[in-house]
Amino acid sequence: MLVDFHSHTNESDGTLGPAELAAVMRARGVEIFAITDHDSLGAYPKLGVAAGTAKIVSGIEINTTYRGNEVHILGFGFPLDAPEMVSAVAANLEHRERRAERMLEGLARAGINLDLASVRAEAGHAHSALGRPHIARALIRAGYVADVETAFRTLLRSGKPGYVPSSYMLPHEAVRIVAQSGGVAVLAHPGRLKDESIIDELVNAGLGGIEVFYPTHNANQIAHFRCLAANNGLVMTAGSDFHDIRYNPRGVGMDVERADIAPFLELVHI
C-alpha cells in the first residue's frame, strides 16, 4: 500500500503549500499520509479538500540536538491543540528565529548582506519555521549564489561564515512531549544518525517507533532497523521526507506491506 508519514510544506522548509502537497499525494494514490513540518503545525488548517479520500494523520518533526547529533523526532496522532505540543513548537520557533539572526550576522561579517525580512519572504509568512534552506533561497535571490547546494557548500555548512550550530531541546524531551500530547514518538531517518547508541536511550525515554522505510535506507539498513524495532517493541513507519520535486525526484509515497505498518496504524487509530 502507498503511504507517506514524512513530508514537508512551505510551513517549514518545503516549497509546496499544504493544499498543493495534499493534491500531489492524491495524484500519486497515497492512501494515508501525515505532514510533518519542522516545528510547525500550520499546514493542517490549510489542507482543505485537496487530499480527497486519503486518510490524514496529524504529525510534526521536532528538531533536537544531542551529543553532536541532530536528532529528528516525528510525532503522530496527537490533537493539534495539545498544550504541551503548542508550547514546544513555540520554543523551537523562537530558537529558529534567533539562529537565523546569528547566521545573517556571520554572513554580514563576510561581506554578504541579507536582512531577516528577505529570509522571511522565502519562508512565505511570519509564522513559518525558519531554517537554512530559507537563507539559501534568499542568497540565490540576492545574486550571491546560483543554487541551494552552492549556498550550503560555501556559506551555510559547518566552518563556513553563515553556519551556526543548532541547540534545540534534547530528543528525550521531544519524545516526552509527544507522549504527553497523546501521540506516538518516532525516530526519523535513523540511518542518518552518527551514533546509534542514542536509540537505546530514546527507547528508555518512551520512544514508540522508528522510521524503517526511508528513501536512502538500503536493504541492509532496512533489515537492521526492522530487527531493532522488533527487539525493542517499536512500531515501524515509512516516509518519503518530501520537500521539493527538484531535490526529491522520486516524489511522495512509500510502497510498503500493510502488515509492516499495521501496529502503527492501530496506535494512531486508523
User: Both ends of the chain: CA-CA distance in Å?
Assistant: 14
Strands of the sheet with 184-187, listed across from one edge: 59-66, 69-76, 184-187, 209-213, 235-238
Amino acid letter, residue 230 = A
* Least confident among 4-13, 75-84, 131-140, 222-231: 131-140
Nearest by Cα to 253 from 10, 7, 77: 7
Q: Which helix (H) or strand (E) holds 151?
A: helix 148-151
Domains and CATH numbers, the chain: 2-88+167-267 (3.20.20.140), 100-156 (1.10.150.650)
Q: What pLDDT, on a 0 to 100 scale, did the predictor assign at position 126?
A: 56
Residue 81 near residue 42 (C-beta atoms within 8 A): no
pLDDT digit string, tens, across residues 172-220: 999 999 999 999 999 999 999 988 999 999 999 999 999 999 999 999 9
Confidence of residue 125 (pLDDT cuts 50, 70, 90): low
pLDDT digit string, tens, across residues 146-168: 998 899 999 998 899 999 887 78
Q: Which residue has the cell 541547540?
A: 167
Q: Does the structure show a pLDDT above 90 at 227? A: yes
Nearest by Cα to 8 from 248, 250, 179: 248
CB atoms < 10 A from the CB of 160, how many?
16
Q: What 3-state DSSP class applies to 254?
A: strand
pLDDT digit string, tens, across residues 24-72: 999 999 999 999 999 999 999 999 877 888 999 999 999 998 987 889 9
Residue 70 near residue 175 (C-beta atoms within 8 A): no
Average pLDDT, the chain: 92
**What value does the mean pLDDT take over residues 229-257?**
94
Phi and psi of 149, rounded to 5°?
A: -60, -40
Strands 32-34 and 55-57: parallel
Q: Which helix (H) or strand (E) holds 148?
A: helix 148-151
Q: Does the structure show a pLDDT above 90 at 97? A: no
**What value does the mean pLDDT take over residues 247-265?**
94
